[in-house]
Amino acid sequence: MREPSIIVLHPSRWREAKALRLQALQNDPLAFGTSYEEALEYADEVWTTRAKAAFERDCAIALYAEVAGDLVGMAGAG
């Protein structure tokens, strides 16, 4: 298995971040301040705004683990 790379995700990859977070919310709902059902209702604009803010480190930081171009994990604070 390849070692993951830790990256700051470019905002253009917001759909991947959304998919990973929704999956994480289903697998470990207590790790987040939002429920899966709430996050599922977010408009695309919410996801793109969050991705841009994290990339620019405007009010939050989000780091992602990537293996062979696929996101496999995330950690954030903000």
Helix 14-27 with 44-56: angle, nearest 10 deg: 100
The answer to whether the predicted template modeling score (pTM) of the entire model surpasses 0.85 is yes
- Each residue's pLDDT tens digit, 7-32: 999 999 999 999 999 999 999 988 88
According to DSSP, residue 71 is labeled E
- Each residue's pLDDT tens digit, 44-70: 999 999 999 889 887 778 899 999 999
Structural domain range at position 72 = 5-77
Handedness of CA 53, 9, 36, 41 (dihedral sign): positive
Tell me which of 43 and 76 has the higher pLDDT: 43
CA distance 78 to 68: 27
CA distance 14 to 36: 17
The count of domains in the chain is 1
